Amino acid sequence: MKFCDIIIFMRVVSGNYGGRPLKTLAGKTTRPTTDKVKGAIFNMIGPYFEGGRVLDLFAGSGSLAIEAISRGMDHALLVEKDRAAQQVILENIKMTKEPEKFQLLKMSAERVLSNVSETFDLVLLDPPYAKEQIVENLELLQDKKRLTENVVVVCETDKGVELPDHIGKLELTRQKTYGISKISIYEF
């Protein structure tokens, strides 16, 4: 399969980049967040922001981080280890015409979490092995004091995944199912 054979198109829902097209991968390595679910996520947590730093730990196409920047966040750190997805992220960042607002780390989430020094106001998690990965990642981010006191954590999982009510000091504050996806919001 060629790289160009697996690209499908979506868009930025709202904000400065609203309506601009986004590329994403359709396949086994990523699970694209639909425009409808993306809009619902940001309506739950924003919908707009007055600055801040976002961490998109399993970035896929970068769609969620780009949406966050479009809606007012200042800087996004995107983490993706899949090479095909990295190419799509770079193309999507180029579309924003503001590449300085984004940093792509081409490595595993575990490696980044062990070395990250920034703090984050918004964390986006959509890992391949949801429950265990989310709990581990959020515990590590808290242990390393990488979350601001006003952090909002968005976890996107399959609707059958049950996340705990508390992960460290983070508390599950909202949860909603959209088709096959479940969105869980955690805050301090």
Q: Which residues pair with 185 in a beta bridge?
A: 154, 174
3 located within any domain: no
What's the total number of domains in the chain?
1
User: What's the CATH code of the domain at 40?
Assistant: 3.40.50.150
Task: State the residue range of the domain holding 155.
Answer: 10-187
71 located within any domain: yes
> ∠ at Cα 67 (63, 68), nearest 5°?
120
15-44 pLDDT, tens digit per residue, is 999 999 999 876 545 566 788 889 999 999
Q: What is the pTM of this model?
A: 0.91
4 located within any domain: no
122-169 pLDDT, tens digit per residue, is 999 988 777 788 999 999 999 999 999 999 999 999 999 999 999 999
141 located within any domain: yes
Nearest-angstrom CA–CA distance, 86 and 174: 31
